[in-house]
A and B are shown apart, each in its own frame.
Chain A
Amino acid sequence: MLFGIEWDTSSELAFAWSILPILLIGLWVTVQATVLGFFVALVLGLILAVLKAAPSRFISWPARALTEFIRDTPLLIQLFFLYYVLPEYGIVLPAFLTGALALGLQYSAYTSEVYRAGLEAIGRDQREAARALNFPAAHTFTHVLLPQAIPRIIPAMGNYLVSIMKDVPVLSVVTVLEMLNVAKIIGDRTFDYMVPLSMVGGLYLIMTLVASAGVRLLDMRLPKQGLPLK
């Protein structure tokens, strides 16, 4: 029994059917962690990308160093650090939040590079036109550069969404009951790992396919208005 739901071990099929609701509870946690992690990665990545492009080296170099540091250390270490070290300094976050933050932090290093590439792909002519028209710098960024960068970066961002989803099981090491962790507990208690693990694989496949399809749909629906894409 898990989450108050009993399983039925009379046959493989009955077992699979009876643990499905349990796995779906785990799946919901996985989805939440993915969405929150992705959101953090999108926001933090944009901030990092802006800092890295700053004209002052005192801003751009630390941002670059931080990106490199995050990118070149394992997610698991960052997760342990947030979960076990931060409480020593009085910052105690729930496991789920810590996990989602760690995911977001790790992926912000990647998304910041996507933003950077997307922004750099916009020709100098756009910045010069904005300057000649005397746009404030912030307006140039939000109304000239970003709207042109977003359609270019959606496919790459979609890949990272799927990657984050597939990295969520790492959170199980800090006790988050995401889908794979739930399946493992079921296996531990019933000595049948085959069925729950296969189901997790299948459910993952469905989730990633849905996410990819969603990204592709968004990519197709987004107006491109003559942007020179690739």
Chain B
Amino acid sequence: MSDHIIKFDKVGKSYGSLKVLDGLDFEVKRGEKVTIIGPSGSGKSTVLRVLMTLETINAGVVYVGNEPLWHEQCNGALVPAGEGHLRKMRQQLGMVFQQFNLFPHMTVRRNIAEAPVKVLGLSRQDANLRAEELLEMVGLADQADKYPHQLSGGQQQRVGIARALAMRPKVMLFDEPTSALDPELVGEVLNVIARLASEHDLTMLLVTHEMRFAREVSDRVCFFDKGRIKEQGTPEELFTDPKEQRTRDFLKAVLDA
């Protein structure tokens, strides 16, 4: 049993001739907070989407908790996984989307409680209780009965975080959680994520353009370029003393902007 909760083993993913992931090797330890940075099209969001089983892979194997995510063992060979296996594996992951992806026709409470009821089999009462606890945690205890469109973007994203946490995932995936927000709303969402990172032993994978934030919360920062990890290290190493010219150029471009 290795201490890796996530492992990408020579994973390839392409759209036609465009290689989004190019023989990617990537590992995440239990409880580790990893930030993925890189130019658009470098495959950083794809890593999260592959983990959330929103996108398939073309080559290699992805492991979550030592079990292949996209494959099943069949007579000693790895075969593409069926929906049953995917459902079981998906249970360990939670995702926060760039555009929040809340259900507009459900109240905030229902948005959070729906999956625990339908998927985990909690009673409506218990699920509502869980929803209210999580809303308390993200500072929205008084908004449970509102609909998503009645909230600000920052509040909606905090509901999105609560919704993912309600499933008690082992790994949380944040896909550019603040990119769709007005600048003055970014802080409240980052605060919630930062608190989550410091108070829980959750494994967290974060794709972001907020470099200062990445530096504060992550144990490790990975710079993606052309479907591979070009360079990685502690935030200190990567931000103050990047080895690769490509990393230096990228950091210069985003930090000057």
CB–CB B99/A148 < 8 A: no
CB–CB B54/A131 < 8 A: yes
Q: Is B59's beta carbon under 8 Å from chain A?
A: no
State whether A148 and B104 are in contact (beta carbons under 8 Å apart), knowing that A128-B54, A133-B163, A225-B147 are contacts in the complex.
yes
Contact among B94, B95, B104 with A227 in the assembled complex (CB-CB below 8 Å): B104
Q: Is B167's beta carbon under 8 Å from chain A?
A: yes
- The distance in angstroms between the C-alpha atoms of A128 and B94, with both chains bound, is 12
Q: Which B residues are in CB contact (< 8 Å) with A126?
A: 101, 103
Interface size class of A (residues with CB under 8 A): 20 to 34
Q: Which of B35-43, B112-120, B197-205 contacts A (4 or more CB under 8 A)?
A: B112-120
Give chain B nearest CB distance to A185 CB in angstroms: 50
Q: Which B residues are in CB contact (< 8 Å) with A136?
A: 118-119
The residue in chain B whose Cβ has the minimal distance to the Cβ of A130 is: B103
Interface size on B, residues (CB 8 A): 27
Q: Is A129's beta carbon under 8 Å from chain B?
A: yes
Contact with A along B62-102 (1 / 0, CB 8 A): 00000000000000000000000001001101110101011
State whether A147 and B105 are in contact (beta carbons under 8 Å apart), knowing that A125-B99, A131-B54, A132-B90 are contacts in the complex.
yes
A-B CB contacts (within 8 Å), total count: 64
Q: Is A203's beta carbon under 8 Å from chain B?
A: no
The residue in chain B whose Cβ has the minimal distance to the Cβ of A132 is: B95
B:95-154 near A, CB below 8 Å? 95, 97, 99, 101-105, 114-115, 118-119, 147-150
- The distance in angstroms between the C-alpha atoms of A147 and B106, with both chains bound, is 10
Chain A residues proximal to chain B, CB less than 8 Å: 125-126, 128-129, 131-136, 139, 143-144, 147-148, 223, 225-228
Apart from A129-B102, A135-B119, A225-B147: 15 A-B pairs, beta carbons within 8 A: A125-B101, A126-B101, A128-B54, A128-B101, A131-B52, A132-B52, A132-B94, A133-B115, A133-B119, A139-B118, A147-B105, A226-B148, A226-B149, A226-B150, A227-B105
Chain B residues proximal to chain A, CB less than 8 Å: 52-54, 87, 90-91, 93-95, 97, 99, 101-105, 114-115, 118-119, 147-150, 163-164, 167
Q: Which 8 A-B pairs have the closest CB atoms?
A: A226-B149, A129-B101, A133-B115, A125-B101, A132-B95, A226-B104, A134-B119, A225-B147
